[in-house]
Amino acid sequence: MTDKPHPDIPSTVHARPVRSYVLRGGRMGSGQERALAELGPLFVLPFQSHPLDPAAVFGRSAPCVLEIGFGMGDATAEIAAARQDTDFIGCEVHEAGIGALLKRIGERELNNLRIVRHDAVEVLRSMIAPDSLAAVHVFFPDPWHKKRHHKRRLIQPPLVALLASRLMPGGLLHCATDWEPYAEQMLEVLSVEPLLVNTAPGYAPKPDYRPLTKFEARGLRLGHGVRDLVFRRTS
């Protein structure tokens, strides 16, 4: 039986013929493999076709933040450790990154962080209730540099509409990229979403809660300026 489209989600998101990622094989260290085996059953949530209950998942009622594509999880773990009053769900498809973040969860004893290994659009559509998220983080998504690949970029109007619908009023959508043409596209797309308003005249100052990762530091050394975009859900 085929799921019927939700009325508040654009039909183009349901169709979604083009994915924004390509699954690549990656080697994992023994620590990552051990974390995946031992901590995966405790911290990786299975995909489900109905909205999850964060209070039941985390055992408390707290603001919930979704991160899409956390890479190796450096920033995710730093933010979760610094904001113990907030619960975090990280969405990632690459096993090596999941193993790396699970390792950090174990090392830092982070009980306010869970992982979903699944396509982010399907997670948003099925597992995240409308008007429920305090924030969404999209840090350094693949810029897909070549023009013929721009259709693969994650930040596109249909997804932004879906993201906005999952934020609670006043919730924040925070994107960051070190690729200027992608930043320009992000700013253009986010600015025309009727449910979102920019918190800055253009690009935002880097919020204190977003740590400087090794990836970002390397980019800065190479002269790649990082641009943050922080938009607020209106109503």
Q: What is the mean pLDDT of the chain?
A: 87
228: annotated active-site residue: no
* Per-residue pLDDT, 25: 55
- Examine the pLDDT at 2 and tell me if it is beyond 90: no
Catalytic residue among 74, 85, 119, 142: 142
Residues 89-101 have a mean pLDDT of 95
The pLDDT confidence band at residue 28, using thresholds 50, 70 and 90, is confident
* Per-residue pLDDT, 223: 81
DSSP state of 134: E
Nearest C-alpha neighbor of 135 from the set 188, 83, 177, 72: 83
**Alpha-carbon gap, residue 158 to 228, rounded angstroms:** 21
Return the structure tokens found at 87.
């619960």
Residues 120-124 have a mean pLDDT of 96
State pTM to two decimals: 0.86
The pLDDT confidence band at residue 19, using thresholds 50, 70 and 90, is low
All domains in the chain, ordered by first residue: 43-233 (3.40.50.150)
3-state secondary structure 204-228: ECCCCCCCCCHHHHHHHHCCCCCEE
* Per-residue pLDDT, 27: 74
- Examine the pLDDT at 138 and tell me if it is beyond 50: yes
pLDDT, tens only, 197-235: 999 999 999 999 999 877 778 878 888 789 999 999 998
Backbone φ, ψ for residue 122 (5° rounding): -70, -35
pLDDT, tens only, 41-84: 999 999 999 999 999 999 999 999 999 999 999 999 999 999 99
Distant-in-sequence, close-in-space partners of 199: CB < 8 Å, separation ≥ 6: 172, 230, 231, 232
The pLDDT confidence band at residue 147, using thresholds 50, 70 and 90, is low
Residues 155-160 have a mean pLDDT of 94
* Per-residue pLDDT, 26: 63
Residues 60, 62, 67: CA angle, nearest 5 degrees: 115
- Secondary structure (3-state) at 173: strand
